[in-house]
C-alpha cells in the first residue's frame, strides 16, 4: 500500500469523526426540515455502494465466499438488533420525539454499540481504499452520510438522558474516533493476511445492505414530505452510480 492510500483512509476516517459532532452543530430547525431527506440520501448511497463497489470488489478478492460473509454479517446484525433493540433507528429521537420512544437507551450501552459499529465502518473504509480509490470514495461517502443522521439521533438520546451538550459531544466525538482503530487494524493486518481486505469488504457489504435496506429505507414511507425523501434517495443512488460510471468511462480504475 502506498502512503497516498493511507492518507486518504485517515482523511476519510477523520471526516467520519467530525460527523459525530453533527447533532450539536446543526440547528434543530435545519434538522427538522432536512433530516428525512438526509436519511433517504444515506439509504441511496449505501445501497448503491454495496451493489456497485463493495460486493463486486469483495467477490473479485474472495470469489463466491464473499456472499457467505455478507449473508453472515447481515444475519448477525438482524439478530443483534432483535436482542438489543434498534441501533440505527434514531430518526424519531432526532426529530424530538424521544420521550415517546419506548424504553430509554442507557448512554453506556448506546456509546458501546456505537463504538463497535464505528470500528466496523473504519475497517470498511480502509479495506475499500486498499482495493481501489473508487471503492474507497464510495464507501467513505456512504459511511459519512449514514453517520450524520445516526449521530444526530444519538446526540438527542444523550441529551434526553440528562447529559450536557459538551459532555454529549465529547463522548460522541471520542466514540467516533474508534473508527481509526478499525482502519489501522485493516491497514496493518493486510500485511500479514492479504485476504483480510476482501473479507472485511464482504462483511461491510452485508452490514451496509442491512443498514440501508432495513434501517433507513423504510423511513421513505413515513411522514408527510415523501417527495423530499424519494428525491434524497434518488440523489444518493445517482451520486454513487455517477462516480461508478465516471470511473468506467475515464478508465481510472486503480
Ligand atoms: Zn456507521
- CA–centroid distance, 193 to ligand 1, in Å, is 25
- CA–centroid distance, 117 to ligand 1, in Å, is 6
In a domain, 31, yes or no: no
- CA–centroid distance, 249 to ligand 1, in Å, is 30
Distance, CA of 140 to CA of 142 (rounded, Å): 5
Count of structural domains within the chain: 1
Considering only the C-alpha atoms of the chain, give the largest distance between any 2 of them, rounded to a whole number of Å: 53
Give the pTM.
0.86
Q: How far is CA 29 from CA 23, 26, 33, 163, 229, in A?
A: 12, 8, 6, 21, 17
Tens digit of each residue's pLDDT (9 = 90 or more) over 194-236: 889 999 999 999 999 999 999 888 888 877 678 888 999 999 9
Distance, CA of 124 to CA of 127 (rounded, Å): 5
- CA–centroid distance, 208 to ligand 1, in Å, is 8
In a domain, 141, yes or no: yes
Residue numbers of the domain that contains 98: 36-250
In a domain, 89, yes or no: yes
- CA–centroid distance, 176 to ligand 1, in Å, is 9
- CA–centroid distance, 143 to ligand 1, in Å, is 5
Close Cβ partners of 228 (under 8 Å, ≥ 6 residues apart) = 36, 37, 40
In a domain, 6, yes or no: no
Tens digit of each residue's pLDDT (9 = 90 or more) over 53-67: 999 999 999 999 999
- CA–centroid distance, 250 to ligand 1, in Å, is 30
In a domain, 16, yes or no: no
**Angle between helices 107-131 and 196-210 in degrees, nearest 10:** 130
Q: Is 205 exposed, middle or buried (0-12, 13-18, 19+ CB in 10 A)?
A: buried
Q: Strands, E, within the chain: which ranges? A: none
- CA–centroid distance, 106 to ligand 1, in Å, is 19
What the block records as the C-alpha cell of 41 is: 440520501
- CA–centroid distance, 4 to ligand 1, in Å, is 24
Tens digit of each residue's pLDDT (9 = 90 or more) over 176-196: 889 999 999 999 999 999 889
- CA–centroid distance, 145 to ligand 1, in Å, is 9
In a domain, 108, yes or no: yes
The reported pLDDT for the residue numbered 2 is 84
Among the listed residues 177, 179, 69, the one whose alpha carbon sits nearest the alpha carbon of residue 120: 179
In a domain, 17, yes or no: no
Tens digit of each residue's pLDDT (9 = 90 or more) over 109-149: 889 888 989 999 999 999 999 998 889 999 999 999 999 88
Amino acid at each position: 500500500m502506498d502512503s497516498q492510500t493511507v492518507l486518504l483512509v485517515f482523511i476519510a476516517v477523520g471526516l467520519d469523526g467530525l460527523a459525530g459532532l453533527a447533532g450539536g452543530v446543526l440547528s434543530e430547525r435545519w434538522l427538522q426540515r432536512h433530516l428525512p431527506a438526509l436519511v433517504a440520501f444515506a439509504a441511496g448511497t449505501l445501497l448503491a455502494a454495496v451493489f456497485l463497489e463493495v460486493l463486486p470488489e469483495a467477490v473479485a478478492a474472495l470469489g463466491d465466499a464473499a456472499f457467505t460473509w455478507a449473508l453472515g454479517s447481515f444475519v448477525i446484525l438482524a439478530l443483534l438488533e432483535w436482542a438489543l433493540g434498534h441501533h440505527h433507528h434514531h430518526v424519531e429521537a432526532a426529530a424530538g420525539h424521544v420521550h415517546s420512544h419506548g424504553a430509554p437507551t442507557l448512554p453506556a450501552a448506546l456509546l458501546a454499540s456505537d463504538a463497535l459499529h464505528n470500528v466496523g465502518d473504519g475497517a470498511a473504509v480502509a479495506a475499500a481504499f486498499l482495493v481501489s480509490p473508487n471503492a474507497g470514495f464510495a464507501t467513505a461517502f456512504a459511511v459519512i452520510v449514514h453517520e450524520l443522521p445516526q449521530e444526530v439521533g444519538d446526540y438527542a438520546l444523550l441529551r434526553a438522558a440528562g447529559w450536557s451538550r459538551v459532555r454529549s459531544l465529547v463522548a460522541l466525538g471520542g466514540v467516533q474516533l474508534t473508527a481509526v482503530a478499525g482502519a489501522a487494524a485493516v491497514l496493518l493486518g493486510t500485511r500479514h493476511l492479504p485476504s483480510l481486505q476482501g473479507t472485511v469488504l464482504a462483511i461491510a457489504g452485508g452490514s451496509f445492505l442491512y443498514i440501508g435496506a432495513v434501517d433507513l429505507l423504510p423511513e421513505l414511507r413515513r411522514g408527510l414530505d415523501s417527495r423530499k425523501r424519494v428525491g434524497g434517495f434518488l440523489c444518493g443512488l445517482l451520486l454513487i452510480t455517477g462516480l461508478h460510471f465516471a470511473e468506467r468511462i475515464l478508465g481510472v480504475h486503480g
